[in-house]
Chains A and B, each alone.
Chain A
């Protein structure tokens, strides 16, 4: 396999990941054979609509799926060459928050309301550095707050004294406290206003450059992808249907009809067209996915084969897509 040759560059290699949520009543096929790699120092944007399986993918990498319902059926996630899926609890504890950190969507609920902001950042540092002095922890908390643009004097304040944008910076500060190699950001700016979103995105961009952190950026906003991602993977109904460098995804070449539809349905500031071009229909029910291409029921270019056969990946350079239109039969 090609990526073996430059293993040194690859930080995270996810291969054929399959995740289901199982309850007494039904089985939800949330992630169905997802593969991607994140190179050192690069940012991968995972794009898709609600229910596409983006967050489930991220939670599986961290092994944080709800234990009662979520099951990882198969696949691997090699982080620095070691498969996280085979880790025991102790090994997971060692990497969570230390080498892989996560920023959640909603800054209002991901902070502890009865703990000062400084203590919450210190908690992460102390967990992963047992023999560190109180003073040194305090110094590092101050440094990390400065890094995300908050005055260190505010470390003894509580989350309710901060605004939404500031809270999200605190969450980012916690995630960066141990200088992780990989930062997973799950829609970090969705809950924020545009002007604050621009500020937070800039903080993320700057930090990435300064610390050389790799990132998995989960978002539904193609504008954010254009601004900060190096590679893009488009997810639909638990599958990656198109992936490649950001230049390929945003260039007007051959695209998966779903990717094209996504671009068409975003209201464009520059066009004068009054009507939007939505994708008709809805995402398929994940408890009952269609047998062929998962997008076929909504696709305007669907052919007979699409309903029967699952398309295989067609690769050209770094750009790959799974669609019968582009010889995806792979027969």
Chain B
């Protein structure tokens, strides 16, 4: 997929949630992804496709059922608690909802400094708070907000707190779990630009989880499309949009209402039905029930995630024949 050694790689990563009565919910089902240093992987899919679970399993906020996660070449799925504590400095997460992911009883500067206190980054309070103030400058939060509480700030500023907090331990890798979907468009653009600037400045690697293909296009080097716990298509961002192969990706793209009048005239191609249940999934392509090109083989066998052209992977019998 990429020439240089990947910073993060997963191999056959699975997370099954056990339900009452012995059923299994397949949240993440055999995912192989690779993210090179300094790049951004966009993870796209609809709600319930397992994209957030994937992000959390990679950080081991949720324990994987099986499979491996390699960070800098080491399999962190086997790490003990002590090792994970050390590793947390290098891997961070920015959450979706800036309203519920920050402590309402702490002031802005205390929230940003919290991780640094936990990891004892500095010897004393003063240094820690000075660093927190620097982080506020970096994410564009005026220092006069330092002693305010989250409820006094709007969504965009709260998300900046979340970003400053994620940056506080100087991580190498950040999972951005829908960081802009709770924000208004004009604020969304501010936060996306900020994330890109910080990445350039600090050489960060992102995994950017979102349901919005147009957002992911702006920020990603590579994009993976997920459907019901599996990857269905992977490609560089230009390739994915110019040469969309998987019927699901095509449907996703067609469903986005574009802000121009040409879209008014053309009748949108709409996929029927809804996402099927991820509980005790049967073999076969998971998109088969909604797919216009469904063949007999699609209902009996899992399609292989095959490379159809260099760097472009698709799991579909119609496209790859495998």
Contacts and interface: CB of A to CB of B under 8 A. Distances in A.
Nearest to B238: A272
B218 A267 contact: yes
A262 interface: yes
B170 interface: no
Contact of A262 (B185, B215, B268): B185
B46 A193 contact: yes
Nearest to A275: B193
Interface of B: 46-47, 154-156, 184-190, 192-193, 196, 211-215, 217-218, 238, 241, 251-261, 263-264, 268, 270-272, 274-275
A266 B184 CA distance: 10
Q: Which 6 A-B pairs have the closest CB atoms?
A: A223-B257, A278-B189, A222-B259, A276-B189, A265-B189, A198-B255
Interface stretch (A21-29, A107-115, A224-232): A224-232
A153 B4 CA distance: 57
B218 A276 contact: yes
Main SS of chain B's interface residues? helix
Interface of A: 49-50, 163, 165-166, 193-199, 201-202, 220-228, 246-247, 250, 261-270, 272-280, 282
Contact of B256 (A223, A225, A276, A278): A223
22 contacts: A50-B155, A166-B274, A195-B251, A198-B268, A201-B257, A220-B184, A221-B257, A222-B259, A223-B257, A226-B257, A226-B261, A226-B263, A250-B260, A265-B186, A266-B189, A266-B259, A269-B213, A270-B258, A274-B196, A277-B189, A278-B187, A278-B189
B261 to A, nearest CB: 5
Contacts of A49: 184-187
A224 B257 contact: yes
Contact of B263 (A50, A227, A265): A227
B186 A226 contact: no
A282 B254 CA distance: 32
A166 B213 CA distance: 23
B270 A269 contact: no
A195 B190 contact: no
B83 to A, nearest CB: 37
A65 B156 CA distance: 27
A254 to B, nearest CB: 17
Given A223-B263, A226-B257, A269 B184 contact: no
Contacts of B155: 50
Contact of B261 (A193, A246, A273): A246
A116 to B, nearest CB: 21
A279 B187 CA distance: 8
A202 B268 contact: yes
Contacts of B156: 282
